[in-house]
Amino acid sequence: MQCWFAEHQFTVLVLAAAKVGGIEANNSYPADFLLENLKIQTHVIETAWLSGVRRLLFLGSSCIYPKFPEQPIQEETLLTGSLEPTNDWYAIAKITGLKLCAALRGQYGFDASSLMPTNLYGPGDNYHPTNSHVLPALIRCFHEAARAPGRGAGTTVSCLGSGTALREFLHVDDLVRPACLLGSVGSRGQ
């Protein structure tokens, strides 16, 4: 990887790569979520630092915050309570990436910042029947119901859960501009 970085001589890098999935995927493959995300993050962040990348923006996830934080969530609530058990392996990996950026910034002055977006959706999303996030899963259910033979305007779709859970969603295009600004201007916070 260092040769590839040296060949391309990046000055700014946005790390958005991750193994992601919904609740069922997280519950079914906890070791994969932890191992693969730790490998991606540590290799890319360390190689960026060693290769002279001037600025790195690490995209984490809002799932790193405790399960029941006060709203609106404040950065200071990180690591103050239990994580949501359905995605704690992914969250632990993302917390590690955030802390690695902070450690390299503090010890070596590496300009690494972290951004924790909420649930993202958009083109190229994962619409897998059991391993997708909630919004693509809902879109798939509605699409399949609308296309099913004999279905019409009175078609219903049943969703799991109590209906009390609150979610925030952000279209990936609405993340691009702030991420580019942070990547180009830099940020000294986490």
Pick the catalytic residue: 29, 65, 90, 108? Answer: 90
Q: What is the DSSP string of the chain?
A: -HHHHHHHT-SEEEE-------HHHHHH-HHHHHHHHHHHHHHHHHHHHHTT-SEEEEE--GGGS-SS--SS--GGGTTSSPPPGGGHHHHHHHHHHHHHHHHHHHHH--EEEEE---EEE-TT----TTTS-HHHHHHHHHHHHHHSTT--TT------S-S-----EEEHHHHHHHHHHHHHH--S--
Decide if 29 is catalytic. Answer: no
As annotated, the active-site residues are 90
